[in-house]
Amino acid sequence: AQGGAQGSTQGSFPSRPVTMVIPFAPGGPTDIVGRLLAEAMAKDMGQPVVVENSTGAGGTIGAQRVATARPDGYTVLLHHIGMGVIPTMYRRLAYDPVNGFEPLGLVTEVPMTLVTRKDMPANNLAELVAYMKSQGDRFNLADAGIGSSSALCGALFANAIGARPTIIPFRGTGPAMQEILGGRVDLLCDQTTQTTEYIRGGNVKVFATPSRTRIATLPEIPTTAEGGLPDFVVTVWHGLYAPKGTPAPVCARLTASLQAALRDPRIVQRFSEIGTAPVSQADATPEAHQRFWTADIAKWKPVIEATSAYAD
């Protein structure tokens, strides 16, 4: 069980701990989903799944870590909508953001919320927009760097209302949220997997969700369409990946484990508490994941080109 000769270990995969790379900071939304998933997959596979936060550059550092890892199934990546926008946003990367991975299955799709520091002098979306525009670049927007969902959402929002806030990038929205809670940053567009707790606790002000429908667990939050911005819609899908070239039987074992994890009552329960749900078993497959991912890259390309939201 020391890794063994290449090839001979496939039948018994995994025979040692699997590393799950999370491309954003500990405590944030990807980390929250990743740790729940890692625990449930470990239970199914009978081996530890060790979370490694490999952060920076809008999620591209962690993605690169997995794209260039040995393709043996012992290093996997939990990433999100960033996989759909990074191929267009970044013109130079040290890995192939489209062909460097074996998609293993989708995981979940998470609504976002527009939250601000608690003492924001605005009480609805229209007031927030007016305040933001009146402040110009004195208004601060926190995000997790170009390629992150918070940066995409923030850019879409600023673009939709014609504002030019100052962007303050962090290595994840976990640390960004600390600045919102401390009242040092104005706005963060972030997933319910992190924000639910702070919204319920009254630690932040919430203005809207850029979802097509209201969030079942936070029904008091209006949608952006209700607030007059019908085209500003974005939700955050997550998927699991292995490096390109990982043997098919190993990928199949990882997908089976992902599916088992998504059926796990603890995951279903915890996900629902934080405003989301596991995808269907049919979507937790390489085929569905590849289809969705390819369509998402095509969907965002013209949007990114229109807003010039490039990394370089």
Residues that bind ligand MLT (CB under 6 A): 24-25, 28-31, 144, 148-150, 172-174
Residue 277 CB, shortest distance to ligand MLT, in Å, is: 17
Structural tokens at position 151: 């940066």
Alpha helices in the chain (DSSP H): 29-45, 60-67, 82-89, 125-135, 149-161, 173-181, 192-200, 248-263, 265-273, 286-307
Q: From CA 129, how far away is CA 248, in angstroms rounded?
A: 50
C-beta of 47 vs 53, nearer to ligand MLT: 53
Q: Of the two residues 31 and 264, which places its CB atom closer to ligand MLT in the complex?
A: 31
The DSSP annotation for 105-126 comes to EEEEEE-EEEEEETT-S-SSHH
* CA nearest neighbour of 238 among 103, 116, 131, 87: 103
**Residue 11 CB, nearest approach to ligand MLT (Å):** 35
Pairing verdict, β 166-169 and 112-117: unpaired
Cα-Cα-Cα-Cα dihedral of 221, 224, 226, 231, to 10°?
-160
DSSP state of 223: B
Shortest spacing between CB 170 and ligand MLT, in angstroms: 8
Provide the residue type at 235 as one letter.
Answer: T
Q: How far is the CB of 181 from ligand MLT (least distance, A)?
A: 15
Cβ-based nearer residue to ligand MLT, 152 or 251 = 152
Residue 116 or 148 having the CB closest to ligand MLT: 148
Task: Please give, one letter per residue, the 3-state secondary structure of 30-89.
Answer: HHHHHHHHHHHHHHHHCCCEEEEECCCHHHHHHHHHHHCCCCCCCEEEEEECHHHHHHHH
For the CB of residue 29, give the shortest distance to ligand MLT in the complex, in Å. 4
Which CB, 14 or 84, lies closer to ligand MLT?
84
DSSP 8-state assignment for residue 191: E
CB of 248 to ligand MLT, least distance (A): 30
Minimum CB–partner distance for residue 28 and ligand MLT (Å): 3
Going 56 to 286 to 50 to 174, the CA torsion angle's sign is: positive
Least CB distance to ligand MLT at residue 271 (A): 15
Q: Give the whole-angstrom CA distance, residue 159 versus residue 154.
A: 8
